[in-house]
Structure 1
Amino acid sequence: MRIGSDIEYIEIEEIERILEGFPCAGDVRLRVSLSLQEFRGSYDGIWLDLTEVESFLDSLSVLDEERQGIARIVSISPGEFIFEIRSSDKSGHMEIEVQLRRYQYSGTRYWPIYLSGGFQVQPDAIKQLIVGFKSFIKEAK
């Protein structure tokens, strides 16, 4: 699923899902790619909790109906992935804000790497997100 324009977008792809019968069944691992004009990054180690995805879908449905408010989802590992879509004015225009963070060893140091920012999207992005995130849970139930 890709949301945004040619130069400002987020792309989210399912990599792995914990199967029924195992601990944490339904949790999903994603690859997230983020482009904020000249700045780009991706990370394929982002895990989302099934109940967090379900709660995000509920928030997206409310946002889609009312065109006011916010829908937010965060990764299981704190601060690794934060995604928000929210109304930017009373007319129902939408904006997305994203943070990607991971750590990388270099020599003897463990360095944090961040990419964070946002961009405006059309209101139909909410429906795209609903369809995309529903696909992450459709077989988990």
Structure 2
Amino acid sequence: MIIESEDKKSYISIDFVEDELERIPSICVSVSVKNNDFCGRNDMVWVELNVLKGFICELERLDMNRKGIATLGSMSPEDLILTIEAYDLAGHLMLKYKLSKTMYCPDLLYSSIKGGFELDTSSFSNLVKEFNVFLQKYL
């Protein structure tokens, strides 16, 4: 799944890697970010299915009302924080993100990319549908 900026110069890509449906129902995704020419990637971001469901409900409300915020966080809080919010009365949408990756060399280090971009509001309903399709594969 690709979430693209309104100007088509930036995107976030989310791809399925694996799932864990027994202990804590969750999925592992690979997330890559390109914000103009600045890039980052983490191939092991775990998200609980209940958290993903809640995020999709928030997206649906945001799509209907064009006000509010939807937030998705990973199981490891440093790995991914993704928010989509209406930032004005006209209902324009901004995506903000923080993507981090833990590295060991020899100490624990975090490498992060943080930013945001405006979304194309005309295709937002399709994005919500894509998230629903993505979730239905694991229910």
TM (normalized to structure 1)?
0.89
Residue 3 of structure 1 is matched in structure 2 by: 3
Could you tell me how far apart the structure 2 residues matched to 1:125 and 1:99 are? 23
Could you tell me how far apart the structure 2 residues matched to 1:127 and 1:103 are? 34
Q: Which runs of 4+ in 1 moved over 4 A?
A: none
TM (normalized to structure 2)?
0.90
Residue 64 of structure 1 is matched in structure 2 by: 63
- Listed one character per residue, the Cα deviations across residues 62-92 of structure 1 (whole Å, up to 9, x for unaligned) are 0000011111110011121000011121101
Does 2:121 match 1:123?
Answer: yes
Unaligned runs of 5+ in 2: none
Letter in 2 for 1:64: D
Residue 30 (structure 1) shift: 0.6
Could you tell me how far apart the structure 2 residues matched to 1:111 and 1:80 are? 12
Instruction: Report SS of the residue matched to 1:43.
Output: strand
Residue 78 of structure 1 is matched in structure 2 by: 77
Could you tell me how far apart the structure 2 residues matched to 1:56 and 1:124 are? 20
* Contact 1:61 1:130 survives alignment (8 Å): yes
Count of residue pairs the alignment pairs up: 137
Residue 42 of structure 1 is matched in structure 2 by: 41
Match of 1:13 among 12, 15, 32: 15
Residue 110 (structure 1) shift: 1.9
Residue 125 (structure 1) shift: 4.5
* Contact 1:48 1:76 survives alignment (8 Å): yes
Unaligned runs of 5+ in 1: none
Letter in 1 for 2:18: E
Could you tell me how far apart the structure 1 residues matched to 2:31 and 2:89 are? 30
